[in-house]
Structure formats: structure tokens, C-alpha cells
Structure 1
Amino acid sequence: MGNQWVRKAGNWALGAVMTASVIGSVQAEELRLITWGGYAPDDVVAQFEDETGIDVQVTLSNNEDMISKLRATGGSGFDLAQPSQDRIVGVQRQFNIYRPIDMAKIDTDQIQAGMLRATRTATDLDGKVYGVPAVWGTSGLIVHEDVADQVRDYTDLCKPELAGEVSYRLKRPTLIGFAFAMGHDPFAAYNDTEQYKKILADVEQKLIDCKPNVKTYWTGGDQLLALLRTGEIKAAMAWDAGGWKLYQEDPAIRFVAPESGALGWIDTFALPRKGENEEAAYRWINFVMQPEVAARITEAAGNFTASQGGEAFVDPALRRAYDQTFSVQALDNIRWYPPVPAGLETIEGQVLDRIQAAN
């Protein structure tokens, strides 16, 4: 009887261990994703969960918030993050919150080759790659057809005949865009602080001189779209998705790639250093880069993805707006944001403050 009790106790203990193991396995089959709005639509999440059995927990965020959360935990709490490509290398050097990507686990045939190269270059640190391209977009010009022949680059917003009819943000993309349009290469000066300050000094004066043309400095997307819809402004520096949205409402308004080059950003896939389900992260990446799935993300987010062929499945009206904006030449001329060296944003902030305060 004693032996029988021992056997029963042993079986109970073994069963408990197996049950705990099963529970642990179930708990491990969860993908904790920190991302931007629109990048993980409910229908896409539901399909992934159905096909894989992996539960997806989505946390909506932005670059600053992602960095803050991962820095506070040393890179734990999430299995996959989606920072912009220019916000990875500097952050990794400072805080060590990511782990390298195993490119052998990425179905690279599903990803546009040029975008893959750009992201690999931008996120390379000590020979290791920390980002895979996911969603991309640009800043450029939204113009009404009444002034389309006058506004072909950022600095054209300052033409006297457009006084009181333009808008842009007092943010770093405006500084960068105007610098390129004025013949500078601000990205080439990123590692030369004094040269960068000289470029910004030229841009600062240009934007101060341009103030009579500015109806208002827009601060939110809804505000900008309303200004353009009502005709209060005729031209603006803004993002492509907003311009394409307006074009679908009114073909007289369109997004234009500036002659000096649209400013391009790429939001990536990156692996937090202490993520607990790396395999689920790779499965999500390969799943959402399938063209038909990627097209649904484009519909939700308003921006195109790095998926090879994904644009073929988007709404035809959006595809027409995209084709109208980006010729092969305009795509080749996109100025992709490189990593931002430490200290540059402080310098830019001071310039923007002076522009805001100038009479």
C-alpha cells in the first residue's frame, strides 16, 4: 500500500509537471507586438491567430514611446517592435534594447530588394542587422491644381504669390526638406556638427522670411486636411497618405514628390533584446509581408509596405494616386532618413524655437 501511494504520488507529481509544461507552452504561444496604428489590423491579426494558433497582443505606440518602454525594461515586455529605421542604431548603442535579426529566418523574396538594402544599411551595427523593412512613406508636397505649376519643391512654398496660402509643420522634416531644396545635403553633414549648424542657419533664415506665406503651422493631420479641403490653403508640406486621401475625395488636390526629393521613412521590424517568443516574431514578419496581407495593412494604415507585389492588391483609386506621384525617377530620388546622431535633435529644436518666436 505504501508503494501504491508512492506510485500515485509520483504519477501526480509527473502529471503536475506535464500540466505546468503544457500551460507554459500555451503561454509561450503569444506574440507581444508594439507597433503603430494601422500596422496590425484586426482582420490581419485574426487570420494570423487562426493559421498559427499564436495569440497576438497589440500595443499601439510611436518611436519615443517604444524607446522609453524598452529602455525601462532593458528590452523586455515585447517580442516584436516597429521603430523607424533611423531610430535603431543610436538607440542600440546607448541602451542595448534590441537583438540582431537572423536574416536566414526572413523570407526576403517577399520584400522589395531596394528597401531591404536601405534598411540593412541604416540598421547595421558592428556587422549585424537590427531591422527589416515593414511600412514606408514620404513627406513631400500637397498642392491644389491652381498652384501646381508654381509649387514643385519645398522652397516654392515661399513664393510671394502664395502669401497666406501655405502650411507646414515646425518640425525637423521641414528643416531637412528646405535644406535639400536650397542645394544642401543635410544628411551628409550629420557627423559634422559645425557644418550642420551652418546649413540650419541658412534654413532658419529662409523659414523666417517665409512666415508671411504661412496661414498656420499645422500640428495635426485632421487640421491640415481641413485646411486643404476648404481651400483656406493651396499648398502644404505634408505626408503622402494625407495627399492621397484628399486626391480620392477631390482629384484637384494631389501629393507631389518634390524636385529635390521626397523625404522617406521606413518603419521596421526589430527584435527586443529580451523578447520571449522570437519564433512567433519571425512568423508574423513573414506572414504580413505576403502581398495580399500587406495590401490590407496598406488599406488600414494609408501607407505602402515593403512587400514585393503588395501594391497590386490595394484599392485601385489609391494605386492610381501612388502611380501619379511616384515615377521610377521620383522613387529613385527619395531621400531616406539615416540614423540621427546624438545631439542633432537638440540643435534642431533650438532652431525651430527661434523660427517660431521670430516676427
Structure 2
Amino acid sequence: MSNPTRTARLLAGAALAALAAGPALAQDSDLLVFDYSGFEDPGFHPDYIEANGASPTFAFFGDEDEAFQKLQSGFRADVSHVCAGSVTKWQESGLLEPWDTSKIDAWEDLNPELTGQDVTTGAEDVYFVPTDFGSTAIIYNEDDVPAEDVASLDVFLDPAYAGRMTLPDNVDDAYALAYLATGVTDWGDVDDAEFEAATDWLRQVHPNLRTYWQDPAELAQLVSTGEVQVAWAWNETYPTLTEIDFPAGFQRTAEEGSSLWLCGYVNLASGEGVEDKAYDFINAMLAPTSTDALLTEGYGQANQAAMSEKSQEELAASGLEEIDAPVLAQLPMSQELRQKQNEAFERIKAGF
């Protein structure tokens, strides 16, 4: 399976940076979507095309920091893709205006674990509408690693695997793991003691790591060659390895649980396009007509009603089946906590 993966989100590099200043293809000029490369796939928004005769116009960024800086510098777009951890920063900067959830057809069908609220109440302004998500859990070599060894996230502290483990070079994913390992399943109200416990856990894990992986292609290579036997990994790595007949296990039901990353769209206050078409686009991304295309590329869809139509076998093939274990949803967090995590993670990676 060839995926426009989260690799493009984090490490698109110079090629995407060259595209970021302007649209890739001039299509429907009434809506400019600022996005990760790959999400211009017409299969992700067929209802928009049916309603408007063409896809929106897309412009691309390499990562969210780049996108934020460009928007702060005056680049204008109507909506932007962003992952949940960045939303608070974008909102507090004044870049966003709230969505009118009464215009989002699937709003009451969204998975409440991904919205972080009861979507039926409409009690607060909504700045982030989740559209796509994935799981993060333990990938391991079933031939060499007994299942009982990955029954707990403390496998990352096991000296038997020292030098043969890896974590993502991504602060949100790393801290999601550390919070789970230290008993926290909701990072929305983490206190100082919980933050310090998670940080200490990551500091203990650091000497056991071979490396911090930076993209799924690198991770798949590390695991398939035997250099790494245990990894904290995005779900897309699992089908990548099984397709080459590698004996990969994907442990989402460790005692302490696993996490869900999620991304979605924000409504940019600077947008000069047709506002109704922003809602056409969000509705298309969340429509059942887009579910299969997203799953084929390794993404879950936030429309819980549409996802419930898929069999557990279909979902399991992508590492997205229902599980009976704790799940930490990587929802928006306070900017203060995000900054603390960033600073601590950089110190840990530097050996301090």
C-alpha cells in the first residue's frame, strides 16, 4: 500500500517547502485549503466535487510550525489542516474563527473521544473539527519478542532490549506514551507531579533507545532489518510490514493502553474565499463517501457512524479496530503544557 502518510506532515522537506507559498493546482478558486501533501486526493472529498464541479485549490506546507509562521506572516487561506496538539497555539494567536457546528452535517455523528466534548450540547465555541486519526502503539517482531514482553509499556525500560528500541522524534507521541506508562489517560488536566513523572519515565527510557525515528519509512526499515525489535509506532507501519510478510505484531492492548493521534481542520480568520464552501469541504471530508478512501491510505475517519459500518477485520488490517484497553486521545492541550513538554523532550534527547 502506498500512503500519503504522516511522513509528509513532519518531514516533507525542501520539495514541499517550495510549494508552500502558493497553490499546487488552480481548481475551485473560491476555496483555498492549506494542507499536508496527499490530502488533495479527490477521493477524500468527492461530495465537494459533486457540489462545486472541482476540488478546492490547495496549497501545501511541510509541517505545522512552517504553516503557522506563513500564516502569521500574512499568507491567506480559508481553512487549514492541523493536528490537535497545535490548535491552542493557533487559536491564541488570533489566526482562527470558530466553526458553526449547525452547518456541519456529521457533527453529532463525530466520535466524542476525538472532539473532547459532548457534540450535542454546542456549549462552547468550536475551533477544531477532527477529520482523520490513527492509533499509536507497540510494533514488535513476533519471532523474537514474546507477547508477554509487550504486555506492558514498561518493555521500553527492559534492559533485555536495550539498543533495539525506538520512539518517535515527536513530542506529542512521546509524551502520550509516557503519560500512559505513568497512569495518565487524559492529558487535558495534567498536574506538575504527573508531568514530572512522565518526564522522568522518558529520561529512563532514553539510554535504551537505538534512535528516535523521524518518519514511517525509516521505522519500517529499522524494524524489517532487525535493528529494532520494539517501537512506539503509528498504525500505518503495521500494514506496511505485513505486506512484506514481516512477522509484525501491533500491541494496542498493553496493560496501560495506547494512544490516538488526530488531525482536522480549522477555519482561518484571514480567509477571503466563499465561507459556505469551507463547510462544503468539511462536510465532504466527514461524509461516508470518503471513509473508504481515507481507510485505504491508513487514516480513520472521525465520523463514528460511518466508521461503524466497517467490519472489525477491515479496521484491524489498519490497526484501528475497537479495543478493550485505556486510550489516551491526543486532544488539544494548553500552550503552557505543550511548551514544557517541548523543552523537556529536547533536553532528554540531548542526554540531560
Which residue of 2 is the match for residue 63 of structure 1?
A: 64
CA distance in 1 between counterparts of 2:217 and 2:306 reads 27
Preserved CA contact (<8 Å) 1:244 1:254: no
Shift of 1:199: 2.1
Asked whether 1:262 is paired with 2:261, we answer no
Which residue of 1 is the match for residue 204 of structure 2?
A: 206
Shift of 1:116: 5.8
Shift of 1:128: 0.9
Shift of 1:141: 0.9
Preserved CA contact (<8 Å) 1:109 1:308: no
CA distance in 1 between counterparts of 2:170 and 2:130 reads 24
User: Counterpart of 1:71 in structure 2: which amino acid?
Assistant: Q
Shift of 1:113: 3.9
List runs of 5+ in structure 2 lacking aligned partners.
1-26
1:39 match: secondary structure: coil
Which residue of 2 is the match for residue 39 of structure 1?
A: 39
Which residue of 2 is the match for residue 351 of structure 1?
A: 344
Task: Provide runs of 4+ in structure 1 moved above 6 Å.
Answer: 312-317
1:81 match: secondary structure: strand
1:263 match: secondary structure: strand
- Report which stretch shifted further, 215-224 or 177-186: 177-186
2:287 to 279, 290, 293: 290
1:128 match: secondary structure: coil
CA distance in 2 between counterparts of 1:298 and 1:279 reads 27
CA distance in 1 between counterparts of 2:78 and 2:189 reads 35
Which residue of 1 is the match for residue 53 of structure 2?
A: 53
Deviations 1:182-221 (A, max 9, x none): 335672554x4x435532452244224xx2x323322222
CA distance in 2 between counterparts of 1:85 and 1:325 reads 19
Cα 1:111/1:245, change in 2 over 3 Å: farther
- Report which stretch shifted further, 149-158 or 223-232: 149-158
- Report which stretch shifted further, 218-227 or 63-72: 63-72
Shift of 1:273: 0.8
Preserved CA contact (<8 Å) 2:238 2:249: yes
Give identity over the alignment, percent.
21
Cα 1:115/1:29, change in 2 over 3 Å: farther
CA distance in 2 between counterparts of 1:351 and 1:116 reads 26
Cα 1:204/1:84, change in 2 over 3 Å: closer
1:327 to 295, 317, 322: 322
2:137 match: secondary structure: strand
User: Counterpart of 1:138 in structure 2: which amino acid?
Assistant: S
Higher helix share: 1
Which residue of 2 is the match for residue 175 of structure 1?
A: 175
1:89 match: secondary structure: helix
Preserved CA contact (<8 Å) 2:48 2:54: yes
User: Counterpart of 1:104 in structure 2: which amino acid?
Assistant: S
TM-score, normalising length: structure 2: 0.77
Aligned length: 318
2:217 match: secondary structure: helix
Equivalent positions of 1:2-13 (< 5 A) are none
Deviations 1:103-128 (A, max 9, x none): 1111126843424642678xx9x921
Which residue of 2 is the match for residue 232 of structure 1?
A: 227
Cα 1:353/1:290, change in 2 over 3 Å: closer
Shift of 1:319: 3.1
User: Counterpart of 2:101 in structure 1: which amino acid?
Assistant: M
2:49 match: secondary structure: helix
Rg comparison, structure with higher value: 1
Cα 1:29/1:202, change in 2 over 3 Å: closer
Asked whether 1:281 is paired with 2:287, we answer no
Cα 1:117/1:215, change in 2 over 3 Å: closer
Cα 1:349/1:48, change in 2 over 3 Å: closer
2:331 match: secondary structure: coil
TM-score, normalising length: structure 1: 0.76
